[in-house]
Amino acid sequence: GEAVPVAQRGSWTSFLKAIASMSGDLSSLTAPPFILSPVSLTEYPAYWCERPELFAAIADAKTSEERALAVLRWFISTLKGQYTTRNESVGSEKKPLNPALGELFYGCWPDKDGRGQTRLLTEQVSHHPPITAYVIENESKGVKLVGHNAQKTSFSTGSIIVKQIGHAVLTVKLPTGGEEQYLLTLPRLRIDGLWYGAPYIELTESSYIVGGGFVGVIEYKGKGYFSGKSHSFKATLTPRPGHGGSATKEIVVEGTWHQNSKFTSGGHGQFHDVSMPNEIVTATGGEAGGEMGSMETRKLWELVAKGIREGDFELAQREKSRIENEMRQRRKDEAASGVPWALKHFTPLANDSVYEELSKNTKIAPPTEDAYVFQENWPESLK
Ligand code: 0T9
Protein backbone atom coordinates (compact mmCIF):
# COMPACT_ATOMS: atom_id res chain seq x y z
CA GLY A 1 0.00 0.00 0.00
CA GLU A 2 0.86 3.64 -0.66
CA ALA A 3 0.98 4.87 2.92
CA VAL A 4 3.10 2.01 4.21
CA PRO A 5 6.82 2.82 4.56
CA VAL A 6 8.80 0.57 2.20
CA ALA A 7 10.68 -1.11 5.04
CA GLN A 8 7.42 -2.05 6.80
CA ARG A 9 5.50 -3.43 3.79
CA GLY A 10 6.28 -7.04 4.66
CA SER A 11 5.24 -6.72 8.26
CA TRP A 12 2.07 -4.82 7.27
CA THR A 13 1.09 -7.67 4.93
CA SER A 14 1.74 -10.24 7.68
CA PHE A 15 -0.27 -8.15 10.12
CA LEU A 16 -3.23 -8.01 7.68
CA LYS A 17 -3.03 -11.77 7.23
CA ALA A 18 -3.04 -12.26 10.99
CA ILE A 19 -6.11 -10.01 11.28
CA ALA A 20 -7.88 -11.89 8.49
CA SER A 21 -7.32 -15.25 10.11
CA MET A 22 -8.35 -14.35 13.65
CA SER A 23 -11.51 -12.89 15.06
CA GLY A 24 -12.43 -11.59 18.46
CA ASP A 25 -9.72 -9.50 19.99
CA LEU A 26 -7.15 -7.76 17.78
CA SER A 27 -5.75 -5.67 20.59
CA SER A 28 -2.86 -7.97 21.40
CA LEU A 29 -1.60 -8.45 17.81
CA THR A 30 1.76 -6.85 17.15
CA ALA A 31 1.49 -4.22 14.43
CA PRO A 32 4.24 -2.47 12.43
CA PRO A 33 5.50 0.81 13.95
CA PHE A 34 3.95 3.21 11.39
CA ILE A 35 0.41 2.29 12.49
CA LEU A 36 0.99 2.56 16.27
CA SER A 37 -0.70 5.28 18.28
CA PRO A 38 0.97 6.59 21.47
CA VAL A 39 -2.45 6.88 23.10
CA SER A 40 -4.08 4.15 25.19
CA LEU A 41 -7.76 3.21 24.82
CA THR A 42 -8.30 4.41 28.41
CA GLU A 43 -8.14 7.98 27.05
CA TYR A 44 -10.85 7.44 24.41
CA PRO A 45 -13.84 8.03 26.75
CA ALA A 46 -12.83 11.72 26.71
CA TYR A 47 -14.37 11.91 23.24
CA TRP A 48 -17.77 11.85 24.94
CA CYS A 49 -17.29 15.36 26.25
CA GLU A 50 -15.21 17.42 23.84
CA ARG A 51 -18.20 19.75 23.47
CA PRO A 52 -18.88 20.27 27.19
CA GLU A 53 -21.47 22.98 26.51
CA LEU A 54 -23.69 20.45 24.70
CA PHE A 55 -23.36 18.01 27.62
CA ALA A 56 -24.33 20.78 30.07
CA ALA A 57 -27.19 21.94 27.82
CA ILE A 58 -29.02 18.66 28.50
CA ALA A 59 -29.75 19.99 31.98
CA ASP A 60 -31.15 23.29 30.68
CA ALA A 61 -33.87 21.72 28.50
CA LYS A 62 -37.36 22.80 29.61
CA THR A 63 -39.49 19.92 28.33
CA SER A 64 -39.06 16.19 27.89
CA GLU A 65 -38.96 16.70 24.11
CA GLU A 66 -36.30 19.42 24.37
CA ARG A 67 -34.30 17.16 26.66
CA ALA A 68 -34.47 14.16 24.30
CA LEU A 69 -33.30 16.46 21.47
CA ALA A 70 -30.47 17.84 23.63
CA VAL A 71 -29.31 14.30 24.42
CA LEU A 72 -29.41 13.36 20.73
CA ARG A 73 -27.61 16.58 19.73
CA TRP A 74 -24.82 15.97 22.27
CA PHE A 75 -24.51 12.30 21.21
CA ILE A 76 -24.34 13.02 17.44
CA SER A 77 -21.85 15.83 18.09
CA THR A 78 -19.41 13.42 19.80
CA LEU A 79 -19.14 11.16 16.73
CA LYS A 80 -16.75 13.38 14.77
CA GLY A 81 -14.27 13.28 17.66
CA GLN A 82 -14.74 9.58 18.40
CA TYR A 83 -14.33 8.35 14.84
CA THR A 84 -12.38 10.90 12.77
CA THR A 85 -9.86 12.44 15.20
CA ARG A 86 -6.91 10.16 14.37
CA ASN A 87 -7.45 10.66 10.63
CA GLU A 88 -7.63 14.42 11.06
CA SER A 89 -4.61 14.69 13.37
CA VAL A 90 -2.22 11.96 12.16
CA GLY A 91 -3.52 11.01 8.70
CA SER A 92 -5.15 7.65 9.42
CA GLU A 93 -6.68 5.48 12.09
CA LYS A 94 -3.95 4.09 14.37
CA LYS A 95 -3.74 1.10 16.69
CA PRO A 96 -4.21 2.33 20.25
CA LEU A 97 -2.10 1.08 23.16
CA ASN A 98 -3.75 -1.94 24.73
CA PRO A 99 -4.53 -0.92 28.34
CA ALA A 100 -3.31 -2.88 31.34
CA LEU A 101 -5.77 -4.13 33.95
CA GLY A 102 -6.33 -1.29 36.41
CA GLU A 103 -5.00 1.42 34.09
CA LEU A 104 -6.47 4.82 34.97
CA PHE A 105 -7.14 8.15 33.31
CA TYR A 106 -8.46 11.30 35.00
CA GLY A 107 -9.31 14.62 33.44
CA CYS A 108 -11.62 17.60 33.32
CA TRP A 109 -13.03 20.42 31.23
CA PRO A 110 -13.03 23.61 33.28
CA ASP A 111 -16.06 25.78 33.93
CA LYS A 112 -16.69 28.40 31.23
CA ASP A 113 -19.66 30.70 30.60
CA GLY A 114 -21.53 29.18 33.56
CA ARG A 115 -21.67 25.68 32.08
CA GLY A 116 -19.91 24.22 35.14
CA GLN A 117 -16.87 21.92 35.41
CA THR A 118 -17.06 18.47 33.84
CA ARG A 119 -14.88 15.65 35.16
CA LEU A 120 -13.83 12.31 33.70
CA LEU A 121 -12.55 9.12 35.27
CA THR A 122 -11.62 5.95 33.34
CA GLU A 123 -10.50 2.54 34.57
CA GLN A 124 -9.50 -0.53 32.59
CA VAL A 125 -11.72 -3.10 34.31
CA SER A 126 -10.62 -6.10 32.24
CA HIS A 127 -7.55 -6.92 30.16
CA HIS A 128 -8.71 -10.19 28.54
CA PRO A 129 -10.99 -9.19 26.90
CA PRO A 130 -10.21 -5.46 27.06
CA ILE A 131 -13.04 -3.57 28.81
CA THR A 132 -12.88 0.12 29.68
CA ALA A 133 -15.30 1.67 32.20
CA TYR A 134 -15.80 5.42 32.58
CA VAL A 135 -17.81 8.14 34.24
CA ILE A 136 -18.23 11.71 33.03
CA GLU A 137 -20.04 14.14 35.28
CA ASN A 138 -21.05 17.77 35.33
CA GLU A 139 -22.08 17.87 38.97
CA SER A 140 -23.27 21.47 39.08
CA LYS A 141 -25.67 20.78 36.19
CA GLY A 142 -26.66 17.31 37.41
CA VAL A 143 -25.66 15.43 34.23
CA LYS A 144 -23.76 12.16 34.46
CA LEU A 145 -22.71 9.47 31.98
CA VAL A 146 -21.56 6.02 33.16
CA GLY A 147 -20.58 3.37 30.66
CA HIS A 148 -18.24 0.64 29.56
CA ASN A 149 -16.82 -0.46 26.23
CA ALA A 150 -15.46 -3.58 24.64
CA GLN A 151 -15.09 -4.68 21.02
CA LYS A 152 -15.58 -7.87 19.02
CA THR A 153 -13.73 -7.72 15.75
CA SER A 154 -14.04 -9.78 12.59
CA PHE A 155 -12.75 -9.51 9.04
CA SER A 156 -14.95 -9.31 5.97
CA THR A 157 -14.05 -8.55 2.32
CA GLY A 158 -10.97 -6.55 3.18
CA SER A 159 -12.46 -4.60 6.08
CA ILE A 160 -12.31 -4.96 9.85
CA ILE A 161 -15.81 -5.07 11.32
CA VAL A 162 -15.97 -3.89 14.92
CA LYS A 163 -19.02 -4.72 16.98
CA GLN A 164 -19.08 -2.56 20.07
CA ILE A 165 -20.12 -4.34 23.24
CA GLY A 166 -21.28 -2.34 26.22
CA HIS A 167 -23.53 0.65 26.69
CA ALA A 168 -23.79 3.88 28.64
CA VAL A 169 -26.45 5.32 30.90
CA LEU A 170 -26.97 9.07 31.04
CA THR A 171 -28.65 10.41 34.17
CA VAL A 172 -30.12 13.92 34.25
CA LYS A 173 -31.42 15.62 37.41
CA LEU A 174 -34.66 17.42 36.67
CA PRO A 175 -35.38 20.97 37.92
CA THR A 176 -38.62 19.60 39.44
CA GLY A 177 -36.66 17.02 41.50
CA GLY A 178 -36.31 13.43 40.38
CA GLU A 179 -34.24 12.35 37.42
CA GLU A 180 -34.45 10.94 33.92
CA GLN A 181 -32.25 8.14 32.55
CA TYR A 182 -31.26 7.42 28.97
CA LEU A 183 -29.75 4.19 27.67
CA LEU A 184 -27.22 4.67 24.87
CA THR A 185 -26.02 1.85 22.66
CA LEU A 186 -23.09 2.09 20.26
CA PRO A 187 -22.73 1.88 16.48
CA ARG A 188 -20.90 -0.76 14.52
CA LEU A 189 -17.64 0.25 12.80
CA ARG A 190 -16.17 -0.76 9.49
CA ILE A 191 -12.46 -0.08 9.11
CA ASP A 192 -11.52 0.36 5.43
CA GLY A 193 -8.37 1.45 3.62
CA LEU A 194 -6.33 -1.34 5.21
CA TRP A 195 -4.74 -2.50 1.98
CA TYR A 196 -3.28 0.99 1.41
CA GLY A 197 -2.06 1.27 4.99
CA ALA A 198 -4.41 4.20 5.54
CA PRO A 199 -7.25 2.83 7.68
CA TYR A 200 -10.35 4.96 8.34
CA ILE A 201 -13.68 4.35 10.05
CA GLU A 202 -17.20 4.33 8.67
CA LEU A 203 -20.18 3.76 10.96
CA THR A 204 -22.80 1.19 9.96
CA GLU A 205 -26.13 -0.27 11.11
CA SER A 206 -27.77 1.55 14.01
CA SER A 207 -27.57 2.59 17.62
CA TYR A 208 -30.23 3.62 20.15
CA ILE A 209 -31.00 6.28 22.72
CA VAL A 210 -33.94 5.30 24.92
CA GLY A 211 -35.36 7.33 27.79
CA GLY A 212 -37.37 10.35 28.85
CA GLY A 213 -40.44 9.32 26.87
CA PHE A 214 -38.66 8.72 23.56
CA VAL A 215 -37.05 5.92 21.62
CA GLY A 216 -34.31 7.22 19.34
CA VAL A 217 -32.93 5.12 16.51
CA ILE A 218 -29.87 6.38 14.68
CA GLU A 219 -29.12 4.73 11.34
CA TYR A 220 -25.65 5.11 9.87
CA LYS A 221 -24.70 4.95 6.19
CA GLY A 222 -21.55 5.61 4.21
CA LYS A 223 -20.89 6.73 0.65
CA GLY A 224 -23.50 5.60 -1.83
CA TYR A 225 -26.48 5.28 0.54
CA PHE A 226 -29.16 7.81 1.79
CA SER A 227 -27.56 11.03 0.57
CA GLY A 228 -24.61 9.37 -1.10
CA LYS A 229 -22.16 10.98 1.34
CA SER A 230 -19.73 9.44 3.83
CA HIS A 231 -20.67 9.63 7.51
CA SER A 232 -24.41 10.04 6.85
CA PHE A 233 -27.02 9.38 9.50
CA LYS A 234 -30.74 9.55 10.02
CA ALA A 235 -32.11 9.76 13.56
CA THR A 236 -35.75 9.13 14.37
CA LEU A 237 -37.29 9.92 17.74
CA THR A 238 -40.66 8.32 18.46
CA PRO A 239 -42.72 8.45 21.64
CA ARG A 240 -42.08 5.57 23.99
CA PRO A 241 -45.40 3.78 24.59
CA GLY A 242 -46.52 4.20 28.17
CA HIS A 243 -43.75 6.68 29.01
CA GLY A 244 -44.54 9.44 26.57
CA GLY A 245 -46.04 12.18 28.72
CA SER A 246 -47.05 14.71 26.11
CA ALA A 247 -44.93 13.16 23.34
CA THR A 248 -47.00 12.22 20.33
CA LYS A 249 -45.08 13.20 17.24
CA GLU A 250 -42.19 11.67 15.36
CA ILE A 251 -39.05 13.75 14.91
CA VAL A 252 -36.50 13.04 12.18
CA VAL A 253 -33.10 14.64 11.64
CA GLU A 254 -30.73 13.85 8.77
CA GLY A 255 -27.23 14.87 7.80
CA THR A 256 -23.58 13.98 8.16
CA TRP A 257 -22.38 13.44 11.71
CA HIS A 258 -18.93 14.99 11.14
CA GLN A 259 -20.48 18.17 9.67
CA ASN A 260 -24.12 19.09 10.31
CA SER A 261 -27.71 17.96 10.11
CA LYS A 262 -31.22 19.39 9.90
CA PHE A 263 -34.76 18.46 10.86
CA THR A 264 -36.62 16.65 8.08
CA SER A 265 -39.75 16.02 10.15
CA GLY A 266 -41.25 17.34 13.39
CA GLY A 267 -39.04 20.45 13.48
CA HIS A 268 -37.37 23.09 11.34
CA GLY A 269 -33.90 24.23 10.44
CA GLN A 270 -30.49 23.12 11.62
CA PHE A 271 -30.16 20.37 14.23
CA HIS A 272 -26.42 20.04 14.86
CA ASP A 273 -23.19 21.60 13.57
CA VAL A 274 -19.70 20.54 14.63
CA SER A 275 -17.67 23.01 12.56
CA MET A 276 -16.71 24.87 15.78
CA PRO A 277 -13.48 23.60 17.41
CA ASN A 278 -13.71 20.94 20.11
CA GLU A 279 -12.17 21.16 23.59
CA ILE A 280 -9.53 18.56 24.43
CA VAL A 281 -9.66 17.18 27.98
CA THR A 282 -7.15 18.45 30.56
CA ALA A 283 -5.43 15.38 32.04
CA THR A 284 -5.24 15.47 35.84
CA GLY A 285 -3.18 13.29 38.19
CA GLY A 286 -5.25 11.24 40.60
CA GLU A 287 -2.68 11.18 43.44
CA ALA A 288 -2.09 13.73 46.21
CA GLY A 289 -1.13 17.12 44.81
CA GLY A 290 -2.41 16.16 41.34
CA GLU A 291 0.56 13.80 40.76
CA MET A 292 0.14 10.86 38.36
CA GLY A 293 0.37 7.39 39.90
CA SER A 294 2.17 4.45 38.28
CA MET A 295 -1.11 3.03 36.87
CA GLU A 296 -2.18 6.29 35.28
CA THR A 297 -2.00 5.90 31.54
CA ARG A 298 0.33 8.79 30.67
CA LYS A 299 2.75 7.70 33.41
CA LEU A 300 2.54 3.97 32.69
CA TRP A 301 3.08 4.36 28.93
CA GLU A 302 5.31 7.46 29.09
CA LEU A 303 8.39 5.96 27.44
CA VAL A 304 6.44 3.81 24.97
CA ALA A 305 4.59 6.94 23.86
CA LYS A 306 7.88 8.89 23.64
CA GLY A 307 9.39 6.14 21.50
CA ILE A 308 6.41 6.07 19.14
CA ARG A 309 6.25 9.89 18.88
CA GLU A 310 9.96 10.27 18.25
CA GLY A 311 10.36 7.26 15.96
CA ASP A 312 12.54 5.41 18.50
CA PHE A 313 10.78 2.08 18.08
CA GLU A 314 13.46 0.18 19.91
CA LEU A 315 12.67 2.20 23.03
CA ALA A 316 8.93 1.74 22.43
CA GLN A 317 9.27 -2.01 21.99
CA ARG A 318 11.60 -2.46 24.97
CA GLU A 319 9.32 -0.48 27.30
CA LYS A 320 6.17 -2.19 25.99
CA SER A 321 7.69 -5.62 26.72
CA ARG A 322 8.78 -4.47 30.17
CA ILE A 323 5.23 -3.34 31.04
CA GLU A 324 3.66 -6.50 29.63
CA ASN A 325 6.07 -8.74 31.56
CA GLU A 326 5.41 -6.82 34.75
CA MET A 327 1.67 -7.27 34.28
CA ARG A 328 2.06 -10.98 33.54
CA GLN A 329 4.08 -11.35 36.74
CA ARG A 330 1.43 -9.49 38.70
CA ARG A 331 -1.27 -11.87 37.45
CA LYS A 332 0.90 -14.86 38.40
CA ASP A 333 1.48 -13.50 41.89
CA GLU A 334 -2.25 -12.89 42.31
CA ALA A 335 -3.04 -16.44 41.20
CA ALA A 336 -0.44 -17.81 43.64
CA SER A 337 -1.66 -15.75 46.59
CA GLY A 338 -5.34 -16.12 45.74
CA VAL A 339 -5.82 -12.35 46.03
CA PRO A 340 -7.11 -11.00 42.71
CA TRP A 341 -6.53 -7.47 41.45
CA ALA A 342 -8.92 -5.02 43.13
CA LEU A 343 -10.54 -2.42 40.89
CA LYS A 344 -10.30 1.08 42.27
CA HIS A 345 -13.50 2.80 41.07
CA PHE A 346 -16.02 0.26 39.75
CA THR A 347 -17.92 -2.77 41.01
CA PRO A 348 -18.79 -5.29 38.30
CA LEU A 349 -22.31 -6.73 38.15
CA ALA A 350 -23.48 -9.52 35.85
CA ASN A 351 -26.56 -7.60 34.75
CA ASP A 352 -27.81 -4.06 34.51
CA SER A 353 -31.38 -3.33 35.64
CA VAL A 354 -31.45 0.11 33.98
CA TYR A 355 -30.38 -1.45 30.67
CA GLU A 356 -33.00 -4.19 31.07
CA GLU A 357 -35.78 -1.73 31.80
CA LEU A 358 -34.96 0.78 29.06
CA SER A 359 -34.26 -1.80 26.34
CA LYS A 360 -37.64 -3.49 26.87
CA ASN A 361 -39.90 -3.49 23.77
CA THR A 362 -37.08 -2.20 21.55
CA LYS A 363 -34.80 -3.97 19.09
CA ILE A 364 -31.86 -3.61 21.48
CA ALA A 365 -30.10 -6.94 22.09
CA PRO A 366 -29.03 -8.80 24.21
CA PRO A 367 -31.70 -8.57 26.96
CA THR A 368 -29.10 -7.75 29.61
CA GLU A 369 -25.43 -6.69 29.81
CA ASP A 370 -22.78 -6.32 32.49
CA ALA A 371 -22.81 -3.20 34.59
CA TYR A 372 -19.82 -1.45 36.16
CA VAL A 373 -21.15 0.54 39.10
CA PHE A 374 -19.13 3.65 39.92
CA GLN A 375 -18.09 3.79 43.59
CA GLU A 376 -18.36 7.61 43.70
CA ASN A 377 -14.73 7.88 44.82
CA TRP A 378 -13.41 10.78 42.75
CA PRO A 379 -9.79 11.64 43.50
CA GLU A 380 -9.15 14.84 45.51
CA SER A 381 -7.97 16.66 42.38
CA LEU A 382 -11.41 16.26 40.78
CA LYS A 383 -13.63 17.02 43.76
C1 0T9 B 1 -14.45 3.48 22.08
C2 0T9 B 1 -13.58 4.12 19.40
C3 0T9 B 1 -13.35 2.73 19.90
C4 0T9 B 1 -13.29 2.75 21.43
C5 0T9 B 1 -11.98 2.17 19.35
C6 0T9 B 1 -11.57 -0.54 16.92
C7 0T9 B 1 -10.45 0.26 17.59
C8 0T9 B 1 -10.50 0.06 19.10
C9 0T9 B 1 -11.78 0.68 19.69
C10 0T9 B 1 -14.52 1.86 19.45
C11 0T9 B 1 -14.52 4.92 21.58
O12 0T9 B 1 -15.64 5.55 22.18
C13 0T9 B 1 -14.63 4.96 20.06
C14 0T9 B 1 -12.91 4.64 18.34
C15 0T9 B 1 -11.90 3.91 17.56
C16 0T9 B 1 -11.87 2.40 17.82
C17 0T9 B 1 -10.56 1.78 17.34
C18 0T9 B 1 -10.22 1.93 15.86
C19 0T9 B 1 -9.23 0.77 15.67
O20 0T9 B 1 -8.68 0.56 14.64
C21 0T9 B 1 -9.09 -0.05 16.90
C22 0T9 B 1 -8.70 -1.52 16.60
C23 0T9 B 1 -8.53 -2.38 17.85
C24 0T9 B 1 -7.38 -1.58 15.86
O25 0T9 B 1 -6.44 -0.99 16.29
C26 0T9 B 1 -7.34 -2.38 14.57
C27 0T9 B 1 -5.98 -2.46 13.90
C28 0T9 B 1 -5.45 -1.23 13.21
C29 0T9 B 1 -4.34 -1.59 12.28
C30 0T9 B 1 -6.39 -0.37 12.43
C31 0T9 B 1 -5.85 1.01 12.49
Shortest-distance atom of ligand 1 to CA 45: 12
Taking the centre of ligand 1 as the mean of its atom positions, its distance from the CA of residue 348, in whole angstroms, is 23
Residue of minimum CA distance from atom 13 in ligand 1: 82
Atom of ligand 1 nearest to the CA of 41: 4
The best mutation among 17, 22, 39, 82 to test binding of ligand 1, ranked by most ligand atoms within 8 Å of the C-beta, falls on 82
Nearest-atom number in ligand 1 for the CA of 15 is 29
pLDDT of residue 243: 74
Ligand 1 atom nearest residue 26's Cα:
23
Give the pLDDT confidence score for residue 245 in this predicted structure. 58
Q: What's the CA-to-centroid distance between 329 and ligand 1, angstroms?
A: 27
C-alpha distances (whole Å) from 3 to each of 17, 88, 168, 216, 321 are 18, 15, 36, 39, 27
Q: Whose CA is nearest to atom 28 of ligand 1?
A: 95
pLDDT given for residue 247 in this prediction:
58
| Amino acid sitting at position 40 | S
Distance from the CA of 112 to the center of ligand 1, in angstroms? 31
Nearest-atom index, ligand 1, CA of 82: 13
pTM assigned to the model: 0.97
Query: For residue 315, what pLDDT is reported?
Result: 98
Picking from 149, 52, 66, the residue whose alpha carbon sits closest to that of residue 109 is 52
* Nearest ligand 1 atom, CA 27: 23
Q: Are 343 and 377 in contact (CB under 8 A)?
A: no
Indicate the top mutation candidate among 30, 160, 161 to test ligand 1's pocket, ranked by most ligand atoms within 8 A of CB: 160
Pocket, ligand 1, Cβ cutoff 6 A: 26-27, 31, 35, 41, 44, 47, 82-83, 93-96, 149, 151, 160, 162, 164, 189, 191, 199
Which pLDDT score is estimated for 23? 72
> Nearest C-alpha to atom 9 of ligand 1 is from which residue?
151
User: Which residue has the CA at smallest separation from atom 25 of ligand 1?
Assistant: 95
Separation of 94 CA from ligand 1 center, angstroms? 8
Q: Which residue puts its alpha carbon closest to atom 23 of ligand 1?
A: 27
pLDDT of res. 1: 56
Which DSSP string corresponds to 78-122? Answer: HHHHHHHHHHHHHSS--EEE-PPTT-EEEEEE---TT---EEEEE
Residue minimizing CA distance to atom 29 of ligand 1:
95
Distance in Å, CA 83 to ligand 1 centroid: 9
- Ligand 1: atom nearest CA of 47 is 12
Q: What dihedral do alpha carbons 298, 304, 308, 312 form, nearest 10°?
A: 140
pLDDT value, residue 319: 98
d(CA 270, CA 265): 12
Centre of ligand 1 to C-alpha 96, Å, is: 7
Phi, psi torsion values for 176, nearest 5 degrees: -85, 5
Distance (Å, whole) CA 13 – CA 2: 13
Q: Chain-centre distance of CA 258, in angstroms?
A: 16
- What is the distance of C-alpha 363 from the center of its chain? 22
- The question of ipTM being above 0.90 is answered as yes
Per-residue pLDDT of the chain (383 residues; tens, 9 = 90+): 579 999 999 999 999 999 988 777 888 888 999 999 999 999 999 999 999 999 999 999 999 999 999 999 999 999 999 999 999 999 999 999 999 999 999 999 999 999 999 999 999 999 999 999 999 999 999 999 999 999 999 999 899 999 999 999 999 999 889 999 999 999 999 999 999 999 999 999 999 999 998 999 999 999 977 778 999 999 999 998 777 555 578 999 999 999 999 999 999 999 999 999 999 999 999 999 999 999 999 999 999 999 999 999 999 999 999 999 999 999 999 999 999 999 999 999 999 999 999 999 999 999 999 999 999 999 999 99
Q: Are strands 232-239 and 95-97 parallel, antiparallel or unpaired?
A: unpaired
- The whole-number pLDDT of residue 227 equals 73
